[in-house]
Amino acid sequence: MNVGNRHYRTIWLKGQDRRTVQIINQQILPFSFEVIDLHNVEDTARAIRDMYVRGAGLVGAAAAFGIYLAALNAREDSFNEEMAAAALLLKSTRPTASNLAWAVDRMIHALAGSRGTLEQKREAAKIEAQAIADEDAEFCRIIGIHGLGIIKKISQKKERGPVNILTHCNAGWLAFVDFGSALAPVYAAFDQDIPVHVWVDETRPRNQGAGLTAWELSEHGVSHDLISDNAGGHLMQHGLVDLVITGADRVTRQGDAANKIGTYLKAVAAKENNIPFYVALPSSTFDFTMLDGLKEIPIEERDPQEVRNITGKTEKGTIETVQICPEATTARNWGFDVTPARYISGLITERGICKASEKGICELFPEYFRAQ
């Protein structure tokens, strides 16, 4: 995607020697645009844990590059042990998005199959990490094409006005390597001159909607309005939402979807108001080992300070964090919730759109069901 007139991915290898990973620092968007270097697996784990990079697809790609950096820094006589330690460190950073562990396991598997010198193993790690990143971008591009069909149909039926799409959190290109999942169909529609407008949930406590989704949409020129997290139901009741599309961090084999906290409430409101609610995801977000999302998906609980405080730009242009509750008030901070499959109209994947059910998912991804 473009920032200004320049094309960026969210993560890439630097320069000619390709021994440093570069990322866009998402902690300080939308106020500043900064690229930072990652030199080793510890840098990468910190970047994921402290959310310099975030979003299911991007944490997966970052973890893959983290293993590559670990391979670059590893000694020949302890290579396998160092790779195992790097894998453990990366997997410990964030628990909910399945892409992270999936990418680490794929890297370790690729390295296990690579014989030869230390340099050859490092080269194998680089090739696999780059393949994971390229695949993430390509799958998201295709998700955009599949989702475009849904927006087109709604647009053709509407007598006037844009297709109003509500989204929660950030499932745009910043959450992946490029294109995004939930926002990819929006960009595809916009690029084909189909009138679209996005309702952007602010997404407390970290405000990924206000800070990241709104920024992305602005950069692309897509019409949008920021709304408070509690506004969606009201807009749905008044016919102001035609479609909801969100991303996902983990989707079980029966189609239950974990996504940013608050997604479930939007899904319930959408069903109550007969509004289609789609979840967009690349196959790396499926967890085919899990069935019941409510019982099985691990939900990250983060620092309560994120709820007690809010960060933003002051009139003087400085970025500051302020407290919004009484000193003595304690808080809890769950990062994700699970939307049961029955609330989901369909899953938009790189292989097409399917029902959020074991049968629907199995029709698109039969090989994973055979392997269970």
* CA–CA gap between residue 15 and residue 36 (Å, rounded): 13
- Which residue has tokens 């309702």? 199
Query: What is the Cα 293 distance to its own chain's centre?
Result: 18
Q: Binding marks (x or -) toward ligand MRU, 3..42, rule CB under 6 A?
A: ----------------------------------------
208 makes contact with ligand MRU (CB under 6 A): yes
Burial class (CB in 10 A: 0-12, 13-18, 19+), 75: exposed
Query: What's phi and psi for 39, nearest 5 deg?
Result: -105, -20
Q: Is 126 helix (H, G, I), strand (E, B) or coil?
A: helix
Q: Which helix (H) or strand (E) holds 254?
A: none
Structure tokens at 44: 């990468």
Q: Which residues, numbered 164-183, are part of the site for ligand MRU (CB under 6 A)?
A: 169, 171, 175, 181
C-beta closer to ligand MRU: residue 121 or 187: 187
Least distance (Å) between residue 185 CB and ligand MRU: 13
Q: Which residue has its beta carbon closest to ligand MRU?
A: 247
C-beta closer to ligand MRU: residue 86 or 171: 171
Task: Choose one: 3-11, 49-57, 115-123, 266-274; the region binding ligand MRU (CB under 6 A).
Answer: 49-57
C-beta closer to ligand MRU: residue 19 or 302: 302
C-beta closer to ligand MRU: residue 124 or 281: 281
- Which residue has tokens 């900064």? 34
* CA–CA gap between residue 232 and residue 225 (Å, rounded): 12
Task: Choose one: 55-63, 216-224, 237-245, 315-323; the region binding ligand MRU (CB under 6 A).
Answer: 55-63
C-beta closer to ligand MRU: residue 203 or 254: 203
Question: Amino acid letter at 372?
Answer: Q
Q: Is 222 helix (H, G, I), strand (E, B) or coil?
A: coil
Q: Which residues, numbered 306-335, are part of the site for ligand MRU (CB under 6 A)?
A: 335
Task: Choose one: 2-10, 50-58, 63-71, 216-224; the region binding ligand MRU (CB under 6 A).
Answer: 50-58
Among 47, 248, 267, 354, binds ligand MRU (CB under 6 A): 248
C-beta closer to ligand MRU: residue 164 or 246: 246
Among 229, 249, 306, 337, binds ligand MRU (CB under 6 A): 249
| 335: β partners | none
Q: Which residues, numbered 104-163, are part of the site for ligand MRU (CB under 6 A)?
A: none
Nearest to 227 by CA among 240, 239, 216, 219: 240
Least distance (Å) between residue 212 CB and ligand MRU: 8
Least distance (Å) between residue 114 CB and ligand MRU: 29
| Residue 59 to residues 17, 77, 133, 236, 283, Cα–Cα distance (Å) | 23, 29, 10, 32, 15
C-beta closer to ligand MRU: residue 72 or 147: 147
Residue count at the site for ligand MRU (CB under 6 A)? 16
Measured from the Cβ of residue 115, the count of other Cβ atoms closer than 10 Å reads 8
* CA–CA gap between residue 201 and residue 183 (Å, rounded): 13
Q: Is 157 helix (H, G, I), strand (E, B) or coil?
A: helix
Active site residue 249: yes
CA angle 263, 269, 270 (to 5 degrees): 85
- Please identify which of the residues 136, 178, 249, 337 carries the catalytic annotation: 249
Q: Binding marks (x or -) toward ligand MRU, 57..96, rule CB under 6 A?
A: x---------------------------------------
Among 44, 164, 254, 259, binds ligand MRU (CB under 6 A): 259
Q: Do the Cβ atoms of 267 and 241 come closer than 8 Å? A: no
Nearest to 364 by CA among 260, 288, 294: 288
Q: Which helix (H) or strand (E) holds 273?
A: none
Structure tokens at 187: 């960009």
C-beta closer to ligand MRU: residue 55 or 162: 55
Catalytic residue numbers read 249
Which residues of the shown chain bind ligand MRU in the complex (CB under 6 A)?
54-57, 97, 169, 171, 175, 181, 208, 247-249, 259-260, 335
